Structure 1
């Protein structure tokens, strides 16, 4: 009986020591949570071959003619949304009337929520990067196929989720439309806090769909369980935010441990055998023949100089 109790105690201790998942910035001597490098130990899918985020190498992307323009539905509507501090990020819940189609997607997707990823103080905080460059902040809008009733139900489908990623870039002028988002974040400082934004229009903080060009690849959720079910769209165009606004975003929230919520991004993952596509047709093929012709002209000019020198 004693041995059984001892074994139970050991198992309980191991469970307590394993803790929960967290970002690298959360780790401390008083917190036994598992950082990104160890997520796969408690969430095996985090060690998969199609993980996100990734670094997009522009010279290796391929143009896909099927990546046409997006059609945003419900983005112009004034809706009431809620924001919740989940202890590791803040989620803004969106109504299912906000929808997404086109853009090479095979069906219509409905919105679930949007959230932000940011760094520490003035350090970059985007999850994805382009040619090694990371941005101050990144916005993710998460959608599921319209036939599913929840994100959990969509997890059984390898293309069940469509995520839109927008980078932020610091500008001299503030983004007045983003003020309402910043204000709402200030009302959910602690884990478990909830607030609302009345009469919110998603179109106010996004660029018009007709102007958007983008990268496309298949990947995963960037938080555990890291399910590889996401069709990712990473937009070329950035969204503006002032340095003061960025400081407000990154300085208002607290983790569940009441430590400042900073550095909430997952490190880059290997691309492995995946291909990143782009909606923009490269003009490099048109440029190269001209360069080649110029080289030949220079070659023959030099040759002529030698012949008559």
Structure 2
């Protein structure tokens, strides 16, 4: 158990979120992750999943409470870690979330993205077997556990807020600054600091009453089953050109054109859908 915990912390903190010995193709692709990381191959609470609306249980959860989501971010750090692009907060108030299916308060750790080669695929979680061109994962840790490292080893330690995107013909003005900075982190290991970033409300969406939630895992090694997923139904619009900026990033083996894990078996898990009505 101690060895597993050490591996988890080492992997998760490597470049803010990921082990370095995996990829999305060939012998280091998702089909081979389980050879080194047991949860990836034998876990029963793995993510992502296909959310079938006909099979969910509708439930009215308490309202989600978002703190500091409406404030512009003073300073953020943007980095290409070879697997995705990661945004962490380097200055200013830390956003947090509570309520809904969460028992306690969860603080912001980082956010990152998953995408595909075309506008027809790229998201990790599916809804009614439909894929989306981009998915944002906002990783939060439970403050009751004291620190991210401690929370990352608890069954309720992490919450991931997941947002899906659709392609449109017009640019999203809230992403203009972000898209410009993506050009500066095309190389693996490159990073840039951004001052005066938009608020998380503007970067995602304020329509957050309708969502799915389930118990799951990280979608990259070590695939630890410590995540409460909140998948929002409302989508975010990005133009094709803005989506294409993600596909121009470099990975460890050339262009990082796709970085999504295939869906995993649901087993006996229940997926809930929050319905304020």
For the criterion TM > 0.5, the same-fold answer is yes
Give the Å deviation of 1:215. Answer: 0.2
Q: TM-score scaled by structure 1?
A: 0.78
* Number of residue equivalences: 253
Question: Take 1:43 and 1:36, find their aligned partners in 2: how far apart are those partners?
Answer: 11
**Where does residue 233 of structure 1 map in the other structure?**
230
Structure 1 pair 240–271 and aligned structure 2 pair: CA distance change class (3 A)? same
Write the deviation string for residues 201-238 of structure 1: whole angstroms up to 9, x where unpaired: 222112115x5310000000000000000000001100
Matches within 5 A, 1:76-225: 76-78=70-72, 79-94=74-89, 97-148=94-145, 150-200=147-197, 201-208=199-206, 211-225=208-222
Secondary structure at the counterpart of residue 144 of structure 1: strand
Structure number with the bigger relative contact order (C-alpha 8 A, sep ≥ 6) is: 2
Give the Å deviation of 1:126. Answer: 0.3
- 2:62 counterpart of 1:68: yes
* CA RMSD, Structure 1 to Structure 2 (Å): 1.8
Question: Take 2:214 and 2:95, find their aligned partners in 1: how far apart are those partners?
Answer: 23
Secondary structure at the counterpart of residue 249 of structure 1: helix
Structure 1 pair 234–70 and aligned structure 2 pair: CA distance change class (3 A)? same
Secondary structure at the counterpart of residue 241 of structure 1: strand
Which residue of 35, 41, 44 maps to 1:41?
35
* Greater percentage in helix: 1
**Where does residue 24 of structure 2 map in the other structure?**
23
The answer as to whether partners of 1:63 and 1:281 remain within 8 angstroms in 2 is: no
Secondary structure at the counterpart of residue 195 of structure 1: strand
The structure with the larger Rg is: 1
Write the deviation string for residues 26-48 of structure 1: whole angstroms up to 9, x where unpaired: x3xxxxx5110110101111120
* Greater percentage in strand: 2
Question: Take 1:106 and 1:255, find their aligned partners in 2: how far apart are those partners?
Answer: 37
Structure 1 residues not aligned, in runs of 5+: 1-18, 28-32, 283-309
Write the deviation string for residues 66-98 of structure 1: whole angstroms up to 9, x where unpaired: x23211111122320001111111110136721
Q: TM-score scaled by structure 2?
A: 0.86
Write the deviation string for residues 152-179 of structure 1: whole angstroms up to 9, x where unpaired: 3222210100100111011232111012
The answer as to whether partners of 1:84 and 1:91 remain within 8 angstroms in 2 is: yes
**Where does residue 269 of structure 1 map in the other structure?**
264
**Where does residue 291 of structure 1 map in the other structure?**
none
Write the deviation string for residues 4-57 of structure 1: whole angstroms up to 9, x where unpaired: xxxxxxxxxxxxxxx921112xx3xxxxx5110110101111120100000001
Secondary structure at the counterpart of residue 216 of structure 1: strand
Secondary structure at the counterpart of residue 136 of structure 2: strand
Secondary structure at the counterpart of residue 187 of structure 1: helix
**Where does residue 255 of structure 1 map in the other structure?**
251
Structure 2 residues not aligned, in runs of 5+: 1-19
Give the Å deviation of 1:104. Answer: 2.3
